[in-house]
Amino acid sequence: MSALDEVLSRARGLIDRWEDEDCGTMAVKEFCRYAAAVDDVDYLRRARAREAAGEPVEAPPLFLAATMSWEDGPAEEELQPDGLAFREAPCTQGLPVRQVHGGQAVRLSRAPIAGTRVTASRAVTSAERKHGRSGDFVLLGFSTRFTSPDGTELTAVDETIVVLDALTKGTSA
């Protein structure tokens, strides 16, 4: 069985099996770190002023969708050859493959407020083997739904990951 066949088999076994991750309680500090990373100085000023005034502080619009993980990053020796952590590379662990982001659709329903506990629910939604000019690949579809404790959807992210065979030495992308 090829590496791509194995990815496809693993993914198909996970379709519609939702896994929840507790993202923790959102904090103004996290919102501001994100805003600083995207150079949103206006958000930083507004958020800190609202916090100082004791007013609710909403997260920046793409905060939830842009966060890859809620944990500290893995040690370097725990990264795959393509630089991804194993948890960010579902269905590909230990296989000679590489991944390319194939696109993302984000639905912003309601911004989380600092002090809100958020849950991320993620599932594989599709898995297809395809053939293109550069050869075979697998398209994996994922959905992530971010919700508040009462079940209200805050943000939804649907994304596609393209899985390709690993490059052999001496081959360029």
The answer to whether residue 55 is domain-embedded is yes
Q: Domain range for residue 151?
A: 3-165
103 CB contacts (<8 Å, ≥6 apart)?
159, 160
Instruction: Tell me if 171 is assigned to some domain.
Output: no
Please give the pLDDT value at position 84: 66
pLDDT digit string, tens, across residues 17-33: 999 999 999 999 999 99
Is residue 170 in a domain? Answer: no
The pTM is what? 0.83
Question: Percentage of residues in the chain with pLDDT exceeding 70?
Answer: 85
Of the two residues 167 and 38, the one the predictor is more confident about is 38
**Residue 128: what pLDDT?**
96
Instruction: Tell me, yes or no, whether 47 lies in a domain.
Output: yes
The reported pLDDT for the residue numbered 92 is 86
**Total domains, the chain:** 1
Does residue 41 sit within a domain? yes
State how far the Cα of 153 lies from the Cα of 139, in Å rounded to an integer: 26
CATH of the domain at 78: 3.10.129.10
Tens digits of per-residue pLDDT, 96-144? 888 888 899 999 999 999 999 999 999 999 999 999 888 899 999 999 9
Q: Which long-range contacts does 141-150 make (Cβ < 8 Å, 24+ apart)?
A: 142/90, 144/120, 145/120, 145/121, 146/23, 146/64, 146/112, 146/118, 146/119, 146/120, 146/121, 147/118, 147/119, 147/121, 148/110, 148/112, 148/116, 148/117, 148/118, 149/116, 149/117, 149/119
Q: Residue 172: inside a domain, yes or no?
A: no
In whole angstroms, what is the distance from residue 159 CA to residue 157 CA?
A: 6
